[in-house]
Amino acid sequence: MSAKPRLVIWGASGHAKVVADIVRLRGELELVGFLDDLDPIAAGQPFFGASVLGGQDQLGRLRERGVTHAIFGFGDGAARLRLAPLLRELGFTLATAVHPRSVVAADAAVGAGSVVAAGAVVGPGSTLGENVIVNTLAGVDHDSTLGDGSHVCPGAHLGGWVEVGEGA
């Protein structure tokens, strides 16, 4: 067994692949698999170098098996906000995934469960709430604040002092 903390990604679609790629490149967590609540027959099927372990009903078993970390691999901000407390109640730590080829200013704050994808830039003095996505090649300039569960889409650029509301 790896000495690294064990992680499950909740989601099994395109964004989950982005998150898994970041996790593997960082090498700090051991990816044990994916959860998929949308396709019940996906359980046991291979997905992006791991397998789909089932749906939300597997969370308790995963904790019992020593999986300590979880991160969302889907873009629905309202669902990320609704499900994050459940993960915490079950004892999971919300992992953060920051791509090694993104740029995050030294004084920027990145909240638990957030994803900063490849080529993204987060400027000085910026704050990302929990479960935020700054997607591929997106930019968040200086002194901006992104509310919990918000999403900056691929290629989008925000100027300085921008405030993005929760779930936006």
Both structure tokens of 98: 């920051």
CB-facing half-sphere around the CA of 80: CA atoms within 13 A: 30
Q: Are residues 13 and 74 in the same domain?
A: yes
Non-local (6+) Cβ contacts of 57 within 8 A are none
- What whole-number distance in Å separates Cα of residue 138 and Cα of residue 26? 20
End residue of a domain, out of 71, 94, 117: 94
Q: Total structural domains in the chain?
A: 2
pLDDT value of position 107: 98
Name the token pair of 117: 């994808």
Residue 1 is assigned to a structural domain of this protein: no
Sign of CA dihedral 79, 80, 86, 92: positive
Which pLDDT score, from 0 to 100, does residue 2 have? 62
Alpha helices (H) in the chain, listed in sequence order: 14-26, 59-64, 77-89
The pLDDT of residue 40: 82
Q: What is the pLDDT of residue 128?
A: 98
Which of the listed residues 94, 127, 153 is the one where a domain comes to its end? 94
> Is 55 within the bounds of a domain?
yes
108 and 156 share one domain: yes
State how far Cα 149 lies from the chain centre. 10
Instruction: Note whether residue 48 is domain-resident.
Output: yes
How do the pLDDT tens digits run along the chain, 168 residues long? 569 999 999 999 999 999 999 999 999 999 999 999 999 889 999 999 999 999 999 999 999 999 999 999 999 999 999 999 999 999 999 999 999 999 999 999 999 999 999 999 999 999 999 999 999 999 999 999 999 999 999 999 999 999 999 999
Domain end (from 94, 123, 154): 94
Is 56 inside a domain boundary? yes
Looking up residue 39, the CATH number of its domain turns out to be 3.40.50.20
Token match 């919990």: residue?
Answer: 148
Task: Quote the domain boundaries for residue 25.
Answer: 6-94
Identify whether residues 83 and 100 lie together within a single domain.
no
The CA angle 63-69-71, to the nearest 5 degrees, is 120
Are 23 and 76 part of one and the same domain? yes
44 shares a domain with 34: yes
Clarify whether residues 90 and 21 are in a common domain.
yes
Residue 42: what pLDDT? 92
What CATH number should be reported for the domain holding residue 105? 2.160.10.10
